[in-house]
């Protein structure tokens, strides 16, 4: 096994950093649970068509970044590059649309994209994803956006920004598309970019190359060509966000990296992360269900990167998930004391107290070092002399104070002390 390492562009999350990972993940999902969203678990691989039809044939995700393979039955499968399309597949397959609408769902899990690894961008990453399906209501759009903002606020983040725009819908996108295509035809673009423009010209606006961006200063913007109905929808979303105390920055050039977005579109960025500043985003996707063979129902949602949010937490120096995992540490000296320790630790854990003990043959010095490393506030030391006297020594590791406690009272005393 020597020499084996994690694949390029991936990483292992290990203690103590894993405590911060879990804290970020759980904090981001807590607002969703409070808002009545139900948890969904979907496979990490799907039929390739779920993503090619759902994410969009013109996207870099589909054309360049998907991990696609044939299984032993000759079926084309793909590791999920994002979570929304698979969740929508489950929504359709299990006819969740037959229930009361909107159906509110959330999930969390790994996604995979083949791209050049760099700071803040990996080939394997974890996302929190949420979707509200079956209702085209500006108030629902505002709820979705506000829940994302609340997750960041609950982490203590302050240096993030909400970018917001509208990408229109079928009532105004065709006319805007004609304007944009006519504009792009006049530019000096390579053949690959022109082909992308033929499939979805909006994708060109998302091109990050300086030589392309330099030609787009005068490009027509979707937000300037909204129909009356989409304009009214966008105005209502912004009013609801104002009522919810959510601040945003208008971003008329915002184009998300997936083809299914319509109307309300948004992105969360953090000013402490440099060029790779996005930590999450989403929007409305009223045609996605129909594109995957389901009913023509609307939807809106977002995905937030747990790994990228961790970088934002670190950039602001926040002490998230750094609290000690153990409250009480039991140090046995001898075989008979080990039985006492195992029983006491089991009792404390059953009572909801985080407890641990030392394993292996260690002397008092090594065992107390283990107690200090555990982060516990108190230690219980039980040696041969203590057993003969029918007591255990309860020590406050913060002050050094120590007292003898009868063995029959140890559990109650420890629980009362560390639980207070």
Which positions make up the binding site? 82-84, 113, 127, 131, 256, 260-261
Taking the CA atoms of residue 280, residue 219, residue 236 and residue 152 in that order, the dihedral angle to the nearest 10 degrees is: 20
| Residue 273 to residue 342: CA distance in whole angstroms | 46
What is the bridge-based pairing of β-strands 160-166 and 249-250? parallel
Q: Which residues carry a binding-site annotation for L-histidine?
A: 82-84, 113, 127, 131, 256, 260-261
Report, in angstroms and rounded to the nearest whole number, the Rg of the chain calculated over CA atoms: 27
Spatial neighbors of 272 by CB under 8 A, at least 6 apart, are 159, 312, 315, 316
CB 406 within 8 Å of CB 390:
yes
């Amino acid at each position: 096994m020597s020499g084996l390492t994690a694949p390029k562009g991936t990483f292992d999350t290990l203690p103590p950093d894993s405590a911060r990972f879990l804290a970020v993940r759980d904090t981001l999902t807590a607002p969703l649970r409070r808002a009545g969203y139900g948890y969904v678990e979907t496979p990490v691989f799907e039929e390739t068509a779920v993503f090619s039809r759902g994410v969009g044939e013109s996207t870099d995700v589909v054309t360049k970044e998907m991990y696609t393979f044939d299984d032993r039955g000759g079926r084309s499968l793909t590791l999920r590059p994002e979570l929304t399309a698979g969740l929508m597949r489950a929504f359709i397959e299990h006819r969740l649309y037959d229930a009361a609408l909107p159906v509110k769902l959330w999930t969390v899990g790994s996604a995979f994209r083949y791209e050049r690894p760099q700071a803040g961008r990996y080939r394997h990453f974890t996302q929190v994803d949420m979707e509200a399906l079956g209702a085209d209501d500006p108030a629902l759009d505002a709820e979705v956006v506000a829940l994302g903002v609340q997750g960041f606020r609950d982490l203590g983040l302050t240096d993030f920004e909400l970018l917001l725009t509208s990408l229109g819908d079928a009532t105004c996108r065709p006319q805007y598309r004609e304007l944009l295509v006519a504009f792009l035809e006049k530019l000096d673009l390579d053949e690959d970019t022109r082909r992308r423009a033929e499939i979805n010209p909006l994708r060109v606006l998302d091109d990050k190359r300086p030589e392309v961006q330099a030609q787009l200063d005068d490009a027509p913007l979707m937000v300037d060509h909204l129909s009356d109905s989409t304009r009214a929808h966008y105005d209502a979303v912004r009013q609801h966000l104002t009522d919810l105390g959510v601040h945003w920055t208008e971003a008329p050039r915002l184009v998300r990296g997936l083809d299914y977005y319509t109307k309300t579109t948004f992105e969360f960025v953090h000013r402490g992360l440099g060029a790779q500043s996005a930590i999450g985003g989403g929007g409305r996707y009223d045609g996605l269900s129909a594109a995957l063979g389901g009913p023509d129902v609307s939807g809106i949602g977002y995905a937030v990167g747990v790994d990228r949010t961790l970088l934002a937490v670190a950039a602001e120096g926040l002490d998230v998930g750094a609290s000690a995992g153990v409250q009480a540490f039991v140090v046995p000296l001898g075989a008979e004391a080990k039985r006492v320790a195992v029983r006491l630790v089991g009792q404390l854990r059953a009572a909801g107290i985080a407890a641990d003990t030392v394993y292996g043959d260690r002397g008092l010095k090594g065992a107390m070092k283990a107690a200090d490393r555990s982060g516990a506030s108190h230690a219980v030391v039980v040696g041969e002399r203590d057993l003969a006297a029918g007591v255990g020594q309860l020590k406050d590791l913060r002050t050094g104070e120590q007292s003898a406690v009868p063995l029959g009272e140890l559990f109650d005393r420890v629980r009362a002390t560390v639980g207070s």
